[in-house]
Amino acid sequence: MSIVAILDSQQQGNIQADVLAPQFGALAEAYVYPHSITAEDGSLYFLTRQKLTKNLVVLSRRPQVQSPDAESRQFVTVDGQSLTLSIYRQDAATAAYLRSKLPWLAPVTLGLRTSVGCGDRLGLATPGHIHAVQQCTRDIAPIFAQQSIREMMRTSRTPQNVVDDAAWGVFQEGWRRGFGADADHLKTTADIDACVAAGYTFYTFDPGVYVDNMYDADKYNQLPWHDLESSPGDARRQYRNRFDDTVIERAFVKYGRAVSHVTRMYRHLAAAMNGVPFEVEVSVDETEQPTTHAEHYIVAGELRRLGVDWVSLAPRFVGRFEKGVDYIGDLAAFEADCAGHVEVARQWGPYKLSIHSGSDKFSIYPIVTRLAGEYVHLKTAGTSYLEALRTVARYDAALFRSIYLLAHEHYAEDRASYHVSADPAQAPDQHLSGVSDPQVILDQFDARQMLHVCFGTILAAYDGDIRRTLVENEESHYADIQRHFERHLASFCN
Ligand SMILES: [Zn+2]
């Protein structure tokens, strides 16, 4: 089919991307990503790259109305006809424009489908994530945009940057099967507002600071019963058929204020979304004490009673879920713990169990899928960034050595607020003396955690250099991400 015929037919089924990409490349004088080529509404859209710069190019019969200012606009002759070729900068205005034309670039809700959260601190990993998800033989719903407010601050990104970067990756790869956007670990209603404005669809509430691990009998009566729309007596009566009063009171002292906070966040979000579909995850994973099954049952029961609706819940499981490394703990104990949480999630749900700090926990994935079936959300945050550092180590060893030195210098400070146990004395020395291939560093437990938690410091110092290396070697970067995620997804989608 000729280009003009595609423009006239407004059909996209017949596009032969591999044939058209070189033709468009000649017109735009740039490399064209074949899977990005999209016909819609009498125009052709595609993503180009020249050196390190990517652009949106639109080919149409006439300049489009209501488009942002094009960087350049020219007439080209195709099949004997004059067409308009417009080139747009890869920025927020262009992303918003493209979303208005191609709705599959906007995040959607995913419901109860098995899902995976692919945190992406650099905003360059989505094509690699897509390649991995495309290999799945079973349906898995991806969240390509996901970052916590804490991470956004440390990487100097806005909620909109995170959503837009994922959308550009989706456009580049032509992924049409939908994706979610997770506003992760939100702690305040101000966090919610910032993310609603950026188009997020999945909201993770983290009431961790309201979890009280110190039980004291007096605290039970002093809970915010008014906010909980309950009373000390009502609460006991509600759960007495299942649990002793002491179990009930302890659960309320530990999680009562958290329940109240989540309810407040939920009502605020529902009002802010104003009818636009959204979904919520409740997470208490970043707390000191594991969540007992009774506590999970009571928290879920209270949230239900208060009208909160959620698709997934992240308890604090037993064992250690440290950043960037496998599960640390007794697998039999984890299995028993997970089984109890699955049962509670079936009773009050079904809803998904969410595995936070879920990256690199290869030993528990088979257990989780066997017990929870499809009702799982696997959340990974920093592991894509670590794989990006593997690419950097391969192509710019000197840069990687500087990064590693910085991690040694800042680990003591940067590890605060993270669950890690790396000991720098156990990691290869800060100058990597005698290490000929620095890629191996990414597989050393202590070094991996140090690089993981120092991401803010590392990106503040070397963001530009890291990005340049990754874009210059992007196929290799995507392959590193894909390989790592295929390992993660093997238990969940095959
Ligand atoms: Zn978490």
Residues with CB under 5 A from ligand 1 (ion): 285, 356
Could you tell me the CA-to-CA distances from 204 to 201, 283, 356, 415, 453 in Å, in that order?
10, 7, 11, 23, 21
Query: Is 139 annotated as catalytic?
Result: no
CA of 324 from ligand 1 middle (Å) equals 13
For 105-383, CATH number out of 3.40.50.300, 3.30.590.20, 3.40.50.620, 3.20.20.70 equals 3.20.20.70
* pTM (2 d.p.): 0.96
Residue ranges of domains in the chain = 3-101, 105-383, 391-493
CA of 362 from ligand 1 middle (Å) equals 17
Could you tell me the CA-to-CA distances from 288 to 208, 321, 325 in Å, in that order?
9, 12, 19
CA of 444 from ligand 1 middle (Å) equals 23
CA of 320 from ligand 1 middle (Å) equals 13
Q: Choosing from 120, 151, 191, 281, which is the catalytic residue?
A: 281
Q: Quick one: tokens of 224?
A: 């915010």
b/e 265-296 (16+ beta carbons within 10 angstroms → b): bbebbeebeeeeebbbbbbbbbbeeebbbbbb
Could you tell me the CA-to-CA distances from 78 to 4, 38, 214, 388 in Å, in that order?
7, 17, 73, 40
Provide the residue-wise pLDDT of the chain in tens; the chain has 494 residues: 778 888 877 665 567 888 899 999 999 999 999 999 999 888 999 999 999 999 999 999 877 767 788 888 999 998 889 999 999 999 999 999 999 999 999 999 999 999 999 999 999 999 999 999 999 999 999 999 999 999 999 899 999 999 999 999 999 999 999 999 999 999 999 999 999 999 999 999 999 999 999 999 999 999 999 999 999 999 999 999 999 999 999 999 999 999 999 999 999 999 999 999 999 999 988 888 999 999 999 999 999 999 999 999 999 999 999 988 999 999 999 999 999 999 999 999 999 999 999 999 999 999 999 999 999 999 999 999 999 999 999 999 999 999 999 999 999 999 987 888 999 999 999 999 999 999 999 999 999 999 999 999 999 999 999 999 999 999 999 999 999 999 999 999 87
CA of 211 from ligand 1 middle (Å) equals 15
Query: Is 184 annotated as catalytic?
Result: yes
